Amino acid sequence: MKVIKKNYLLILVGLFLFSCNQQSKTPTQIEAPVAKKQEKKLIQHGHERIDNYYWLNERSNPEVIAHLEAENAYANEMLKSTEVLQSKLFEEMKARISEDDKSVPYFLNGYFYYNRFEKGKEYPIHCRKKGTLETDELIMLDVNVLAEGKAYCGVNSLSVSPDNKILAYGIDTVSRRQYQIRFKDMESGTELRDVILNTEGSAAWAADNKTVFYSRKDTVTLRSYQIYKHTLGTPVQDDKLIYQENDETFGVYVYTSKDEKYIIIASSSSVSDEYRLLKSDNPDGEFTIFQARERGLEYSIEHYNNEFYIRTNYKALNFNVMKTLDNKTSKENWKNVMPYNDSIFTEGIEIMSDYLVIQQKVAGIGNLFVYHLKSKKSYGIDFEEEVFSADMTSNTDPKSKVLRFSYTSLTTPTEIYDYNLETKERVMLKKTEVIGNFNKNDYESKRLYAKASDGTLIPVSIVYKKGLNIQSGQNPTLIYAYGSYGYSLDPYFSSTRLSLLDRGFIYAIAHVRGGQEMGRSWYDDGKLMNKMNTFTDFIAISEHLINQKYTSPEHLFAWGGSAGGLLVGAVANMAPQLYKGIIAEVPFVDVVTTMLDESIPLTTGEFDEWGNPKDSAAYWYMLSYSPYDNVKATAYPNILVTSGLYDSQVQYFEPAKWVAKLREMKTDNNLLLFSTNMDAGHGGASGRFQALKEYATQFAFLFMLLDIKE
């Protein structure tokens, strides 16, 4: 914020000149901001690229700030006719939310924990009750108070000392994901003097109630690379460095095992993991390696009853569950808990007394599988819908035989259940309330398959309101996708999405390769030198929906954020004729230049995702799809691009450069709007209602293009 304030006068001058230039012009006559061209030669492998907008990466340059502000002013002006509609959309989305909502309490170490919201307030209030839910409430942390006077406030990783007296939490007021760790005395309500800067936000408590372990970030790359030990009441500058990760493709974090017996340091890259262990009752001891890192060996661990349970790809492409004794942790000692099935993708595990609960995917559909460790008997938990998501939630007691899970689908708001693993009795604890006249039976969802160019069938989940002429060829349709890092886009309910469905939209989730919906090979076939599959899969789904008369190019829209922004950016170059419009949120569009700059956050840790362009083959392959490098003189769809000035995941200058080059090259008169949140980062606004305003703007953009005015 200092940069903005320091150069406020220059920004005002720029905006004044921009405003004067637009006076008396109608929206169709208003001229978009034009970024100056300043040639920058980039040479790699003997190949020269000219980047005329490289200068936009100077965050401290007042001319850059003035340009971003001018783009914001232009976007606001071009969307001015939708202001009433935006306000209506915001109010209708807000009206569906229970403003005084409350989470389902979970029990941990003698207390019930939950969070709640109060009417009109943006942030949660974190609370607990001792012993029973009938006792008096203690407010542990009111994030609304922390957020007072701040444009952004993000809080994460609340953890309480084993004696229940001290709360540790992370707070970020810049949206750069550089969290402070703070501590609060639960008995007196006072904040301790201990404040630890530049961390991931989480603290792992030792059993002595005064020692915590935490990860510290590199101030330039923001890579978590060090683990420190802090003793409450001592100067932070005296904290002891416990471990430093020198391999720049790895990041580190630290946590306490579920049974609280171990402090665990995890070092992880895209393709390898390594863990270190220390008994939590011996905080001054030395950590020991669980299993040394090996390239390609991925594993995660949890401890219970003198054994470690391991989710791993060791001899199992789609991951398996293994276990070993405390004192024999190297992989030659690992034993299968149950036979490996290559057709099942194991996503996660939960240890529950005599049971192991496994979150898995079969043919792209997620489910929960229960395995009795002693009898070796097993069963799956049944769910009724065709397209749904079921996830294990706050299971804090490893001795419990009651599993807590959440259930949702494209038509079903999230439901929270307690499930007795012995009796199979299921008790609904909460059903997310959608205020108004919502009825899940008014909507329908299904799964379709589109054939990719190589013959692979690509799943797509769709939802729409019943009564819609589903194959009229004229339905407005919005396709959302991500397709990277093995992140699966499972179907889930969104009350915000109802503002689309109730206006006749089909909403589609494209399960393209690069995610893990269909197993590990689905991810491998959409990364590195197979990345092009992600984009062609999305195009195949778009063509399928058009060919099957669900929609048409005049009614079809693409939407993606971050790596999903890369996806829609690449698709905009490859098949612009298929879409009426595109929404690209915080898009990763300058792939080659970013991956060549190891000072940019995330770069070194993602060579195994995208490739290292210092390798010639990787360079040319990445260059073939990089959205910024492939902008050309052609007609593009209408495009809305968003960014955050403090984004640590995708730097603001990537979309800024992309928009500038698109303005220079495109041959159409379609809208190209660029909006930068000057107070936020990758996730946008931090408040629950402020985020709705961003959706309202995006939806109004779509509606304006379709002449939907109400």
Residue numbers annotated as active site: 562, 647, 682
Residue 136 is classified by DSSP as: P
Name the token pair of 196: 């630890």
Identify which of 305, 308, 236 has the alpha carbon closest to the alpha carbon of residue 276: 308
Q: Distance between CA atoms of 603 and 249, rounded to whole angstroms?
A: 8
Q: Distance between CA atoms of 307 and 96, rounded to whole angstroms?
A: 46
| Residue matched to tokens 């179907």 | 491
Contact call for residues 491 and 517 (beta carbons, < 8 A): no
Q: What does residue 540 show for φ and ψ, rounded to 5 degrees?
A: -60, -40
Q: How many CB atoms lie within 10 A of CB 201?
A: 23
Q: How many CB atoms lie within 10 A of CB 325?
A: 11
* Angstrom distances, CA of residue 541 to CA of 448, 526, 536, 579: 9, 15, 9, 12
Instruction: Tell me the Ramachandran region of residue 382: left when phi exceeds 0, alpha when psi lies from -120 to 50, beta otherwise.
Output: beta
Contact call for residues 666 and 633 (beta carbons, < 8 A): yes
DSSP alpha helix (H) spans, 508-650: 520-524, 532-547, 563-574, 591-596, 607-610, 616-625
* Distance linking the first and last C-alpha atoms of the chain: 37
| Residue matched to tokens 């493709």 | 249
Instruction: Decide: helix, strand or coil at residue 268.
Output: strand
Contact call for residues 650 and 627 (beta carbons, < 8 A): no
Residue by residue, DSSP assigns 29-80 as: TPPPP-PPP---EEEETTEEEE-TTGGGG-TT-HHHHHHHHHHHHHHHHHTG
Name the token pair of 629: 């490098």
Residue by residue, DSSP assigns 138-177 as: EEEEEHHHHTTT-S--EEEEEEE-TTS-EEEEEEESSSSS
* Angstrom distances, CA of residue 315 to CA of 311, 319, 341, 345: 12, 8, 11, 13
Task: Go through the chain and tell me how many residues it has.
Answer: 710
Instruction: Decide: helix, strand or coil at residue 626.
Output: coil
Contact call for residues 408 and 389 (beta carbons, < 8 A): yes
Identify which of 680, 570, 668 has the alpha carbon closest to the alpha carbon of residue 623: 570
